[in-house]
Amino acid sequence: MKLYLDGHDYKYAVEQILLALFPEERPEYCASFETCSGLAAASRLSFGKVYAQAVTVIRRGGEETRGISRVRLDRLGEKLAADRLLQRIIKQSFYKAAERFLETPPVWGSLTGIRPAQLAVAALVSGKSKESAKNSLIRDYHVSPERAELCIDAARSAVNIKQSLEPMDVALYIGIPFCPSRCAYCSFVSNSVEKSFALIEPFVQVLLREIEAVGGLVNAVGMRVIAVYIGGGTPTTLSETEIEAVMRTLEKSIDLKHVREYTVEAGRPDTITEQKLEIMQRFGAMRICVNPQSMSREVLAAIGRKHSPEDVLTAAKIVRQNGMALNMDVIAGLPGDTTEGFAHTLDTVLSLKSENVTIHTLSLKKGSRIMLEGTLIPSGADVAVMLEYAARRLRESGLLPYYLYRQKFTSGGFENIGWCTAGSEGLYNICMMDELCTVLALGGGGVTKLVSGNGRIERIFNAKYPREYIMQKDKLNDKTERVKEFYHAISLQH
């Protein structure tokens, strides 16, 4: 699509809404709207005495449409808030202009961000009723009633958690970027053991040093660790000895007496053993993630998973025998799957009485084998049927949505939703996704997110790949000093 911007340079906002509404198009810029050929859009932003107004004109052939959205100038506030509101009206005007050209309106309307529930959180915190917040999503952002309802449910969980947090509460994430093999849909930073076995031992040694350093940081700043999440990759790719070393060092280095939730993402059922789970339970793990993704042999083979459906059942049984809660993930839209096959997967997961079930929508990532090989996948319409079935069956089984997020290039433009039984909300998931407290991230690819409580967020990135992470071992002090400076600045403000 040809684009022309007038009166603003919010390119990213325009490109976001363009890709959400016209996923087959790519942005190209023109010197003027008159010179734009084919499918073209002009996005204009102007300021009057009372309002800032965004106008989008979309033209295709001889047909031209116009969308208008505006915001009062007295709502703009300081620059960060102003930027968000101006980008919002730009997207809304683009959506209104594009409606006539869309075969099927997207279920998320003009919303393009990762965290759509944050709008509902803000509305509920400000005192709006559930119905008012829901209607605002439908009316102002063109969100479908079903997605608006999901947003409100997730927002209510976030509000409840937010009210339970203390100012110095933090969550801890430990990233283990190794997997037994690489899935066809994956572009995460994870190395298959087949290619990187020699890196595991030195990686673990550096991780142990980082845990010790962060322990000193937590004590120095006066933080309270309330949630621990060991993720990846697949942490249970490590041996029993390595898992014990990580968890023992964590226990020795950091005060965990305030921890309300301790999760280990075991992920691949074929990496789970009774001995590993016994170690995890002994060191305080409360939840174990067993992620079948599908219960179809054919689909598992298509995505490069080496476990069988029977392995999932065995892993879930072992988790229960060790007295821990069960989290499970499935993916809608996998290669070779059907609406009937997805229904079978979900029904099997529900029969295991998992306290927490996350329904992911397949995300078409550039570096994945699915994209590189042009693998056939279910249509967006089929994915919609899968997600509708999931929502109905999960609610019938007593589970409710408690957090959701979106990714780029998902099949059908859908979302990822965590469902849980009452009282089993994933504390780490909510804190991380809704940015309710600081997340200290250790290990490969970890992103520390420092949250001030007044809207300021700062990020610190660990090296992505195991080899780079091992080489950065002498820079651990730089990270801890930055965190201390952040909290020192907050203390001065108060």
Which residues of 388-452 form beta strands (DSSP E)?
400-405, 416-420, 438-443, 447-451
CA distances 423 to 27, 330, 400, Å, are: 45, 21, 10
Query: Is residue 419 scored above 60 in pLDDT?
Result: yes
Give the mean pLDDT of 375-397.
95
Query: Is residue 377 scored above 70 in pLDDT?
Result: yes
For all residues of the chain together, what is the average pLDDT?
93
Domains and CATH numbers, the chain: 1-103 (3.90.950.10), 106-157 (no CATH), 161-481 (3.80.30.20)
Buried b or exposed e, range 356-368, using 16+ CB within 10 angstroms: bbbbbbbbbbeeb
Query: Is residue 195 scored above 80 in pLDDT?
Result: no
Q: Is it true that the peptide bond before 267 is cis, omega within 30 degrees of 0?
A: no
Higher-pLDDT residue of 388 and 412 is 388
Check if the beta carbon of residue 229 is closer than 8 Å to that of residue 174: yes
Q: In this structure, how many other beta carbons lie within 10 angstroms of the beta carbon of residue 136?
A: 16
Cα(400)–Cα(69) distance, integer angstroms: 34
**Which residues have CB under 8 Å from 449's CB, separation 6+?**
432, 435, 438, 439, 441, 457, 458, 459
Higher-pLDDT residue of 253 and 62 is 253
Check if the beta carbon of residue 303 is closer than 8 Å to that of residue 183: yes
- Band the pLDDT of 494: cuts 50, 70, 90: low
Cα(383)–Cα(416) distance, integer angstroms: 12
Cα(316)–Cα(327) distance, integer angstroms: 9
Cα(87)–Cα(15) distance, integer angstroms: 11
For the chain, the 3-state helix, strand and coil shares in percent, each to the nearest 5, are 45, 20, 30
Give the mean pLDDT of 57-81.
93
Give the mean pLDDT of 40-58.
97
Which residues of 177-238 form beta strands (DSSP E)?
178-179, 191-192, 224-232
Cα(332)–Cα(271) distance, integer angstroms: 23
pLDDT per residue as tens digits for the range 351-374: 999 999 999 999 987 777 787 778
| Secondary structure element (H or E) that encloses residue 287, with its range | strand 287-290
Cα(383)–Cα(405) distance, integer angstroms: 17
Higher-pLDDT residue of 262 and 369 is 262
Check if the beta carbon of residue 323 is closer than 8 Å to that of residue 280: no
pLDDT per residue as tens digits for the range 428-467: 999 999 999 999 999 999 999 999 877 789 999 999 889 9
Cα(446)–Cα(458) distance, integer angstroms: 14
Cα(429)–Cα(480) distance, integer angstroms: 24
Q: What is the DSSP string of 222-283?
A: T-EEEEEEEEES-GGGS-HHHHHHHHHHHHHHS--TT-SEEEEEEESGGG--HHHHHHHHHT
Q: What is the DSSP letter of 293?
A: B
- Band the pLDDT of 491: cuts 50, 70, 90: confident
**Which residues have CB under 8 Å from 290's CB, separation 6+?**
266, 267, 269, 272, 312, 315, 316, 319, 326, 327, 328
Sign of CA dihedral 269, 374, 371, 144: negative
pLDDT per residue as tens digits for the range 140-184: 999 999 999 999 999 999 999 999 999 999 999 999 999 888 788
Percent of the chain with pLDDT over 70: 98
Give the mean pLDDT of 289-295.
95
pLDDT per residue as tens digits for the range 294-347: 999 999 999 988 899 999 999 999 999 999 999 999 999 999 999 999 999 999
Q: Which pLDDT does position 25 carry in this prediction? A: 92
